[in-house]
Every structure is written in C-alpha cells, then in structure tokens.
C-alpha cells in the first residue's frame, strides 16, 4: 500500500470514529422541570362543589371518594379569584347552632317537641316539625297555612332561663325563609319574665333597619344583634330582665321558616368568615367579616381559616371552590417528557423536547363541576414550536403510545406569554392529552429536564449524560485511531524491510 493511501485510510478511520462518538444520544423519557421557563404548564379551571367539607380536614381539596376513602384533587385553589370559597350559612352542620340552651345538655331549640303553638283567627293552621336544610343539617320548621289578615300564630320555646347579663346576650338566628306571603309579618323575639320583648322582623315590605332579618324568601339568612342594642317593646315593667322564652309570631299571612341555628346564650357573635371586597372604590380590597347575612344565597370568603373557632369542626354542605388543575399538579403517570438531541436536523438548536400531559378532573359522587375551562400560556417563542396537539376523550389508563387521534392546534400559538384557549368544550370526567413538541437551545434543553428523571447527570438524554457519552466515544475513537496508525506504521516498516 502506498504511503498516501495509508494516510487517507487513517484519516477516514479517525473521522468515522469521531462522528460515531458525536452521534445524537437515544431519546430519553422522564418528568419535566416545571420551574424551567420553556416548560409549558397548561391548566384547567373549574368551580367544584363538594357534597360535604369537614373543617378538620387538612385541605379544602380533600373529599370522600366513591369507596369512602379520603382523597385529594389534583388541583390547587385558584389564587386569581378574590374569594374562591362559597357556601350557604344554613347548610352548615355546626354544633353551636343547636346547643342552645347550653345549660341543658338534653334540650335543644332545634327539637320540634320543645316548641308549642298558639293559633288565633278564623282559618289559620300551623305546624312544627324536625327537618333538614341539607343532608344532616338539623333544623326546626315553623310554618303556617291559610292565614289571612287578622290571623296570628305564636310559636314558643321556653325550656330555658337566662337571669344574668341579659343586655349582653346576642339574639342569633340562622334560618331559611321558604314561604312569605306579601302581607305576612314575622317577629322573632326574646321575651323576659313579664312580657317585655326584644324583636327582630321578617317582612316583605321592609327594606332596611337593624331589626330586619329578611324581606324575601331564600336560604342562608343570619341575624345577630346584642340585646342591649335593640329597642325594648314594653309589655311589662319596661326593664328587660330574666329571659324566659323565645317566640316566633306569624301574622296577617303565611310564612314557612326552617331554623338550623338559634341562640341566646352567647355574649359574642359568630364569625362566618371574611371576604375581600373594594368597599370604598379605591381599587384596593378590604377585608369584611360576615357577621350578618341579609341577602339570600351563598356567601363568599377568601380563606376557610377566617371562619371563627365555633366552626373549626363544622361540616359545610355544598362548599363551592374555584380550583385550577395545572400540569404541575398532575401525578407522575399523567405527565411525560421525551428529550432527544437533534444532531443536524434543526440547525441552531441542541435538541427537541416533547411534553405530554393528561389533563382532566376526576368525577366522584361527592363532587360536581361548573364553569370548566382549559387554556395555557405560550411558554416559548413561536420559532421553537414544532407542533402542539390535543386528543380528547382519552382513558386514564391508555398508554401514551396508543393515543393516535390528535387535533393540531399549533396555529393558535403565535406569541410568547400570550394565553391560548386549548379547548372550550372540555367537561369534568373526560380527559384530554395535550402534546407540545419544542426545539430548544442547549441551555433550554438541559433546564427542562428534572434530575432523577430522564435527564439527570447520568441520564440517557441529559446534557451531562450526552456530553459524557460524546466525550467517551471521542476518546475511544482517538485511541482506536492511534492504534490503527501504529499498526500501519508497523506494517510499513516490516514491508519495507522485506
């Protein structure tokens, strides 16, 4: 063999080995680093209503699964909503609601058998019954029927006696107004031993007043007023002392009340949570405690921890929460990252990263959803996007490789940091795979890979793993080439001596 031919052969071997050593590493799978800027983090938002929430649970996102186990949603509370929690006051199962009179453990103002009725008039009738305003929320029902102008019914609870600090006591009533005739007038009164009264009213023709409980039908009313701050209706000596009964008087029409909370023992008020609201039009939010509720329906609070100690072990029936499920909230088996070095496929880029997420809220007997939405912020510039696709109606146990039907939504992604609607028809109980394929620079490609996943220090597709693979291959190539040169030189000397 001629010297030039031998040299060419050596160079060819050397270059071939180096090229082989520098070839792209095999694709690696793992979990994405959600702290890395290029990593997309789409989210589904919804309002979830739980059949029951136990205030002793560690998280508002816990619930009882269909088999009765305590589990948690793959989501977080929506921090962009000022007051993400809402509930109806009278749908709370709170021990203090039915503890009056506290001095008698075997007596409750919510027990229908403790009430009496006195009907006067030509046609009216009345009934007293034990009911529930919601599942397991006990209440006493006080209702009349067929009453007209001039008819009156007085319901009375009198199995208690308050003989001290009467003016400091608070008249507390949580109730639902199920029926209220246009001409009906209802009075809820604390009555002392000689008939003097402290009165709060329900009346459809009233619009204001410190003594007003409600002026329309609806659920969730709460009235709390210190007796010393209420005017005294004089029917005795005019000195309000020795409280002996509570009366509910319905006159000139019909009313139907369900009362899950009644108390005269306390000198302080129940705190039903705190909401954030702009009360003075300065665009800043102020905190306002819920001490009374004079508009029917749910109240909103910014955090359940703002409910007072009275409700630290309460059960809230029908608690609604604004929640968000981000890809970063999902369990590992619903997230996959595949990375691969590109070689010369995409000049100027080091590798590709494919992010796959299986998004969706699980349904359960104790959960219901509304206002579900699915969107995400574009995490990279458009030149880095190869494609974005979604596949709807995927089963939770479907293997990633078996998802075949995708809709291409790449055209929606036009500018970094803009919000993109991924699916405006998504519903809870269905699952959608969304698949992002990006081409990334070396730093980006390295950053999206989590340690311990497919891209750690020794990971098959990580930056350092790829570098080590390349370096080892290169060194071995050099060693092999030098050995080849030595063999050729050795062969030349021997041949020349022949």
Verify that 101 and 11 share a domain, yes or no: no
Whether residue 107 is contained in a domain is answered as: yes
Element (H, E) at 258: strand 255-263
Give the end of a domain, one of 263, 285, 314. Answer: 263
- Give mean pLDDT, residues 245-272: 97
Cα(231)–Cα(494) distance, rounded to whole angstroms?
A: 125
CA quadruple 166, 171, 172, 174: dihedral sign: positive
Q: Rounded to 5 degrees, what are φ and ψ at 178?
A: -85, -35
- Give mean pLDDT, residues 133-155: 96
Pairing of strands 197-203, 212-214: parallel
In the DSSP assignment, the letter for residue 211 is T
SS3 of residue 351 by DSSP: strand
Among residues 466, 477, 472, 449, the alpha carbon closest in space to that of 342 is found at 466
Verify that 122 and 256 share a domain, yes or no: yes
> What digits encode the pLDDT tens for the residues 447-474?
999 754 333 333 333 333 344 333 433 4
Per-residue confidence (pLDDT) for residue 347, from 0 to 100: 92
Task: Give the pLDDT band of residue 344 (cuts 50, 70, 90).
Answer: confident
Cα(157)–Cα(140) distance, rounded to whole angstroms?
A: 11
Contacts of residue 407, defined as CB under 8 A and 6 or more positions apart, other chains included, come to 389, 390, 391, 392
Cα(354)–Cα(341) distance, rounded to whole angstroms?
A: 12
Residue 90, CB-side half-sphere exposure with 13 Å CA sphere: 33
Contacts of residue 465, defined as CB under 8 A and 6 or more positions apart, other chains included, come to 25, 28, 455, 456, 457, 458, 459
Per-residue confidence (pLDDT) for residue 26, from 0 to 100: 67
Task: Give the pLDDT band of residue 408 (cuts 50, 70, 90).
Answer: very high
> What digits encode the pLDDT tens for the residues 180-206?
999 999 999 999 999 999 999 999 999
Among residues 275, 368, 214, 314, the alpha carbon closest in space to that of 86 is found at 275
Whether residue 230 is contained in a domain is answered as: yes
Determine the Cα angle at 265 with ends 119 and 259, to 5°. 45
Contacts of residue 430, defined as CB under 8 A and 6 or more positions apart, other chains included, come to 360, 392, 393
SS3 of residue 497 by DSSP: helix
Verify that 218 and 358 share a domain, yes or no: no
Whether residue 239 is contained in a domain is answered as: yes
Verify that 215 and 334 share a domain, yes or no: no
> What digits encode the pLDDT tens for the residues 30-52?
999 999 999 999 999 999 999 99
Burial-class residue 454 by CB neighbours within 10 Å (0-12, 13-18, 19+): buried
Per-residue confidence (pLDDT) for residue 443, from 0 to 100: 95
Whether residue 292 is contained in a domain is answered as: no
Verify that 125 and 9 share a domain, yes or no: no
Among residues 294, 435, 442, the alpha carbon closest in space to that of 358 is found at 435
Q: Report the percent of the chain where pLDDT is more than 70.
A: 85
Give the end of a domain, one of 242, 263, 284. Answer: 263
Q: CA-based diameter of the chain, in Å?
A: 142
- Give mean pLDDT, residues 304-319: 96
Task: Give the pLDDT band of residue 179 (cuts 50, 70, 90).
Answer: very high
Averaged confidence pLDDT in the chain: 88
Query: Which tokens sit at 102?
Result: 């506290």
The count of structural domains within the chain is: 2
Verify that 37 and 104 share a domain, yes or no: no
* pLDDT of 288 over the 80 cut: yes
Cα(228)–Cα(19) distance, rounded to whole angstroms?
A: 92
**Structural domain range at position 396:** 3-45+328-472
Per-residue confidence (pLDDT) for residue 25, from 0 to 100: 57
Verify that 122 and 249 share a domain, yes or no: yes
Q: Report the percent of the chain where pLDDT is more than 90.
A: 82
Verify that 105 and 221 share a domain, yes or no: yes
Whether residue 86 is contained in a domain is answered as: no
Per-residue confidence (pLDDT) for residue 24, from 0 to 100: 52
Cα(98)–Cα(138) distance, rounded to whole angstroms?
A: 8
Verify that 110 and 251 share a domain, yes or no: yes
Verify that 211 and 353 share a domain, yes or no: no
Verify that 21 and 102 share a domain, yes or no: no
Pairing of strands 286-289, 170-180: unpaired
Whether residue 82 is contained in a domain is answered as: no
Per-residue confidence (pLDDT) for residue 216, from 0 to 100: 98
What CATH number is given to the structural domain containing 195? 2.60.120.260
Whether residue 490 is contained in a domain is answered as: no
The Cα-based distances of 485 to 11, 341, 490 in angstroms read 9, 32, 8
* pLDDT of 390 over the 60 cut: yes
Task: Give the pLDDT band of residue 336 (cuts 50, 70, 90).
Answer: very high
* pLDDT of 23 over the 90 cut: no
- Give mean pLDDT, residues 380-397: 96
Cα(13)–Cα(484) distance, rounded to whole angstroms?
A: 8
- Give mean pLDDT, residues 325-339: 97
* pLDDT of 483 over the 80 cut: no
Cα(374)–Cα(77) distance, rounded to whole angstroms?
A: 16
Give the end of a domain, one of 222, 245, 263. Answer: 263
* pLDDT of 77 over the 50 cut: yes
pTM for this prediction:
0.85
């Amino acid at each position: 063999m001629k010297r030039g031919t031998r040299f060419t052969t050596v160079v060819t071997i050397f270059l071939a080995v180096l090229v082989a050593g520098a070839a792209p590493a095999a694709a690696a799978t793992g979990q994405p680093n959600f702290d890395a800027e290029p990593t997309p983090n789409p989210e589904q938002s919804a309002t979830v209503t739980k059949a029951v929430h136990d205030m002793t649970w560690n998280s508002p996102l816990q619930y009882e699964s269909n088999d009765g186990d305590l589990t948690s949603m793959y989501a977080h509370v929506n921090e962009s909503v000022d007051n993400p929690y809402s509930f109806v006051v009278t749908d709370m199962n709170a021990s203090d609601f039915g503890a009056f009179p506290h001095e008698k453990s075997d007596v409750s103002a919510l027990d229908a058998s403790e009430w009496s009725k006195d009907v006067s008039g030509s046609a009216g009738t009345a009934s007293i019954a034990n009911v529930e305003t919601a599942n397991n929320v006990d209440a006493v029902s006080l209702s009349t029927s067929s009453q007209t102008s001039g008819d009156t019914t007085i319901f009375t609870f009198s199995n208690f006696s308050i003989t001290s600090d009467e003016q400091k006591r608070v008249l507390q009533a949580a109730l639902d107004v199920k029926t209220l005739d246009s001409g009906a007038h209802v009075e809820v009164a604390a009555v002392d031993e000689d008939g003097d009264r402290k009165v709060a009213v329900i009346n459809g023709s009233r619009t204001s007043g410190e003594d007003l409980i409600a002026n329309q039908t609806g659920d969730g009313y709460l009235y709390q007023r210190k007796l010393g701050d209420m005017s005294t209706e004089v029917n005795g000596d005019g000195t309000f002392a020795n409280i002996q009964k509570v009366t509910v008087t319905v006159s000139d029409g019909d009313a139907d009340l369900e009362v899950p909370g009644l108390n005269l023992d306390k000198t302080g008020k129940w705190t039903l949570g705190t909401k954030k609201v702009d009360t003075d039009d300065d665009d800043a939010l102020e905190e306002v405690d819920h001490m009374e509720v004079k508009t029917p329906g749910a109240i909103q609070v910014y955090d359940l921890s703002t409910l007072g100690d009275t409700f630290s072990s309460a059960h809230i029936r029908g608690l609604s929460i604004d929640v968000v499920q981000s890809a970063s909230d999902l369990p590992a088996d619903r997230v996959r990252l595949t990375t691969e070095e590109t070689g010369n496929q995409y000049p100027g880029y080091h590798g590709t990263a494919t992010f796959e997420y299986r998004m969706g809220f699980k349904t359960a007997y104790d959960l219901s959803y509304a206002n579900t939405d699915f969107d995400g912020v574009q995490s990279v510039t458009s030149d880095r996007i190869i494609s974005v696709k979604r596949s709807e109606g995927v089963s939770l146990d479907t293997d990633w490789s078996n998802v075949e039907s995708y809709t291409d939504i790449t055209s929606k992604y036009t500018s970094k940091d803009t919000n993109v609607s991924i699916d405006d028809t998504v519903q809870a109980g269905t699952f959608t795979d969304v698949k992002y394929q990006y081409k990334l620079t070396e730093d980006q490609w390295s950053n999206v890979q989590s340690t311990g996943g497919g891209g750690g220090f020794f990971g098959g597709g990580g930056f350092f793993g790829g570098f080590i693979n390349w370096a080892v291959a290169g060194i071995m190539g050099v060693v092999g080439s030098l050995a080849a040169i030595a063999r050729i030189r050795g062969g030349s000397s021997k041949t020349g001596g022949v």
